[in-house]
Amino acid sequence: MPYTEATLWETLRKASSPIVPHVASAETEIDGYTIEKGTMVFINNYELNVGEEYWSNPEEFMPERFLSPAGNVVKPAHFIPFSTGKRTCIGQRLVQCFSFVILATLLQHYDISAGSEVKIKPGCVAVPPDCFKLILTPRILQSD
């Protein structure tokens, strides 16, 4: 079910944390700049997730952007919602598996629509609980 997986990646592109702060544990150099020990360093996930340099029509919700012409899921190297390296999110496999099962099960049983036009601000660290409502209409499942 590549489209379901692609939908989850596209949701994370729109909704994952815009920044990931770290502190340099030793003096180092990045691109000719000296980074002193103790300096706070941020991964700018906001730019990586919505920058026009990285995505076409970044404002659009388009799961297809994560699908190859053959229909396989492809994740560009610059897309790192769970960060990367030694401190990468240890919950990412759990999140991927749970989200997949929850989304697929919900869509199997309900038609889901928004009551009114929904505008989600990208880059929210936490989405407020009352920002929009969904309507879930039970689907009539065919039985053999």
Contact set with ligand HEM (CB under 6 A) = 12, 16-17, 20, 22, 81-83, 87-91, 94-95
Select 55 or 82, whichever has its Cβ closest to ligand HEM: 82
* CA 126 – CA 15 distance, rounded (Å): 8
Provide the β-strand partners of residue 27: none
Select 89 or 124, whichever has its Cβ closest to ligand HEM: 89
Select 21 or 115, whichever has its Cβ closest to ligand HEM: 21
**114 — phi, psi (to 5°)?**
-95, 140
Closest residue to bound ligand HEM by CB? 91
Alpha-helical runs (H) found in 16-91: 45-50
* CA 39 – CA 126 distance, rounded (Å): 26
Question: Using N-to-C axis directions, what is the helix angle for 92-109 and 2-15, rounded to 10°?
Answer: 120
The minimum distance between CB 25 and ligand HEM, in angstroms, equals 12
The minimum distance between CB 69 and ligand HEM, in angstroms, equals 28
The minimum distance between CB 49 and ligand HEM, in angstroms, equals 11
89 is in an annotated binding site: yes
* CA 118 – CA 116 distance, rounded (Å): 6
* CA 45 – CA 139 distance, rounded (Å): 37
The minimum distance between CB 104 and ligand HEM, in angstroms, equals 17
Select 120 or 135, whichever has its Cβ closest to ligand HEM: 120
Residues annotated within a binding site for heme: 89
